[in-house]
Every structure is written in C-alpha cells, then in structure tokens.
Amino acid sequence: MGEKPIIGVTGGLIKKNDFVEGPCTHQDYGRSLLAVGAVPLILPIAPSEIIEDYVSLCDGFILSGGDDVDPRFYGESPSPHIGVFNTDRDRSELLLLKKAVSSGKPVLGICRGLQVINVALGGTLIQDLSTEMKKTIQHEQKVPRMKTSHSVRVIKNSRLFSLLEGRKSLFVNSLHHQAIGRLASDLRAVSFAPDGVIEAVEHVVNDRILGVQWHPESMAAGGDPLMIRLFSEFVRQCLQVRREKSETAK
C-alpha cells in the first residue's frame, strides 16, 4: 500500500441545470489535502449499504461544509429561519460518522461537519443564530473566504491548543448561521467566539475526532501556517491508520 492516505471528503449536491447536476464540495478541501500529501476523494451522498465501503476504502474523513442539518435528526421541527437542507445527505453523513468512529478512522468536521458530529453523538443545534441568540457577532462574513473575520478563544490543555502551538486566541473565517446548541456528552467544547458560540470540539476520549466551526481548508489554501499545521496533523493521523492496516494485512 502507498504512503499517501486516502481522505474521503463528503460532498453535497449541486444542480446547475437539468443537464448538469452532481456531487460538489469547495475546491479548497482538495487543495489543502494535496498540499500536505494526501489523496482527496469526494464522496457522493450514498445509501447506507455503501457507507461501509467508504469506511473500508478511506483512511480518514472530512465532513465538509454545506447546507443546514435537517432538525428531525435532533428532535426538533424546522424554524422559519432555517435554510435549505438535504435529508439524504444528513442521513448518509450521520451514519458515516458513527461507522468511522467505531472503526478508529480519524474524522475532521468542518463548519456543517462539526454540527453533524454533535448531532450524531446526541447534541442539538441552534437553527439560526440571528433569531435565537440575543447578542451575536457576524458569523456570515462579507469578506472573501480565505480572509479571517472574527477572533476565537482556545481552551488551554486541549488537543487543539497544542495543535495550534499554544495559541490562546486567533482570528478565523466564518461562514455559518447555525451552531451547536446542546453539546453532546461525548464532546468537549475547546474554542469559543466572543458571543459564546462554540467554535471547536474534541471527543472526550478519542483523539482522532475534531470539529471546527470555521473553514481551515480555505485559510490553509491561503497560506495560513496554523491551518496548514491542522491539516498536516490530520493527515498524519490518517497515515498512521493506513500503516496499521498495512501491518495487519501482512
């Protein structure tokens, strides 16, 4: 087996017209993974019987950004302010996360992906920050995607704190209107926006599960060294999984 880990990146569905429709995710995911020595593989929305094949094929997964999460998966009805959601994608990714965790594969949740991790493990979401929080900063930035928008605070003694070279705070980009509501019991919040919105989570026992609310793939593609380091560490974990699989196969 080769030394480049295969990273499955979940994709949404985009329709340009009746003749052009298919799986899609932002190009910065692929750019950032290629830059740190991984092989990105975009995963179309799939039925449950295919998810096991995804888990077998890939060494790790990025749950990418995209549409809102269908609130039925955390026991709520849709708010008038919720955006578009794709129930099939949600169902596919929730199952993928659970199977990836049980198989020991690393998972990096980004923006919507962080929210999927929380829902999969029993948490809930704020369906719309601007209408459900009394005071909130701007989380849907107006500046380009690679640019940073607001600060976040990072909790000391967290894995994220070490990964970010001991930075207590940093500026990140922000492209979301939903956020974690009730935190899943298996997760620990390790970063917060100035208004209290949870910006990053870690699994309390599994160091291969991390979620961030911002978009490190675009910051990394823009040359941000800390976000490049985040991707490098994720790929290192996935490479370890690949090596473990290779040793087992001998």
Sign of CA dihedral 24, 27, 29, 35: positive
Q: In sequence order, what E strands does 25-140 have? A: 39-43, 60-63, 107-110, 125-126
**Which residue of the set 176, 199, 215, 238 is catalytic?**
215
**Which residue of the set 111, 176, 177, 238 is catalytic?**
111
58 is catalytic: no
**Which residue of the set 93, 202, 217, 233 is catalytic?**
217
Strand order in the sheet with 187-192: 39-43, 6-10, 60-63, 107-110, 209-212, 198-203, 187-192, 150-154, 169-172
150 is catalytic: no
Which value, in Å, is the radius of gyration of the alpha carbons in the chain? 17
Q: Are 61 and 99 in contact (CB under 8 A)?
A: no
Which residues have a catalytic role annotated? Answer: 111, 215, 217
